[in-house]
Chains A and B, each alone.
Chain A
Amino acid sequence: MTRLAPIALISGILFGAGLALGGMTNPARVRGFLDIFGEWDPTLAFVMGGAVIVMAIAWRFQARMAEPIVAGVFALPDRTDLTPSLVGGAALFGIGWGIAGLCPGPGFAALVIAPAKAVAFIAAMLVGMLIARFLEKRD
């Protein structure tokens, strides 16, 4: 953990900075992107495009590496099955995202921009995650 933690911190800082710089800590802008039938704001497409291009290159490097730089093994998702949970969960997430223009990353980054509202969002999200865990354990 001692070697991983600083890398995780750097990753988080870069991520939060990117969100704020790209305007993604502004829910009005995020909802503007989703408002394709109104005054559409394409900024989010540039954010996602920039991130996806960099990551597509990172995946090329990953394919040539036997192990990550500071951890023992790559621990990456390998599922390919399309399930009702995947689609249903993503559909629900999109509804919540559309209502307030916040997803998990900006929710945490917004702690320094609108602290009370960020805390409210994070608390509600954690309750939602606990509800999901309860529902999944019942199955």
Chain B
Amino acid sequence: MTLPGFPDAAPVAGLAGGILIGLAAATMLLGIGRIAGVSGIAARAFGITDSGLPKGSAWNFIVGLPLGALIVVLVTGGVEAQFAGFLPILIAGLIVGIGTRIGSGCTSGHGVCGVSRFSRRSVVATITFMATGIATVAVMNAIGWEVIQ
């Protein structure tokens, strides 16, 4: 199914994926009593912070991420994916790592878990990273820096 005016959009797959992500976060919340924030759980798994889930559980969550994606790849026969080159990926990773720790979360912790709870901090963080993400892509387009060929 397509969205009128947006031939490339995948609204049904997007909504279905979003519901799965919501169920994932609900499982973490109602089962374990914690926020499913990927940056925080990754920091815990790799020993960068001592707070959060028990380390073993943090690793289980992190290992589950590629496993879940693998299931979708196997069931659907492959997913479309175009990645940036290694240099932009390394620069981006470094900035994402610094920003998510200083800003206490990312798209999952703030964007999904926090926004759905009407957390003031998460709403502000989400508006902020959306705005700078939009500005970054706009500036890169304006100067002709095409990271994805």
**Complex formed: what's the CA distance from A91 to B100 in Å?**
9
Structural contact, A128 and B14, CB atoms closer than 8 A: no
Contact with B along A50-65 (1 / 0, CB 8 A): 1111111111011001
Chain B, 56-72, contact with A by CB distance < 8 Å: what is the 0/1 string?
A: 11101111111111111
Complex Cα spacing A127 to B35, Å: 23
Chain A residue at smallest Cβ distance from B80: A26
B contacts with A: majority SS: helix
Interface string of A15-46 (1 = CB under 8 A from B): 11111111111111101101111111111111
Closest B residue to A43 by beta carbon equals B14
Number of A-B contacts (CB under 8 A): 532
**Contact for B136 among A4, A10, A57, A94, CB less than 8 A:** A94
* Residues B126-146 near A (CB distance < 8 A): 126, 128-138, 140-141
B93–A11 contact, CB under 8 A?
A: no
User: CB-CB < 8 A to A44: which residues of B?
Assistant: 14
**Structural contact, A76 and B34, CB atoms closer than 8 A:** yes
CB distance from A50 to the nearest CB of B (A): 2
Interface residues on B, range: 35 or more
- Would B106 and A93 count as touching, CB distance under 8 A? yes
Residues from 33 to 66 in B contacting A, C-beta threshold 8 Å? 33-36, 38-39, 42-43, 46, 48-49, 53-54, 56-58, 60-66
Can you identify 27 A-B contacts, CB atoms within 8 angstroms?
A13-B24, A15-B36, A17-B20, A20-B17, A23-B13, A23-B17, A24-B17, A26-B82, A46-B12, A48-B111, A50-B15, A52-B22, A55-B22, A57-B26, A70-B32, A87-B103, A90-B126, A92-B99, A94-B130, A95-B133, A97-B133, A98-B140, A99-B140, A100-B91, A104-B100, A117-B84, A136-B101
Which 7 A-B residue pairs are closest in the complex by CB-CB distance? Answer: A12-B64, A128-B97, A22-B17, A89-B103, A50-B18, A54-B22, A16-B68
Other CB < 8 Å A-B pairs besides A23-B10, A97-B96, 16 of them?
A6-B60, A12-B64, A15-B20, A17-B71, A20-B17, A34-B130, A50-B19, A51-B112, A71-B31, A98-B134, A112-B73, A113-B73, A129-B100, A131-B97, A131-B98, A135-B102
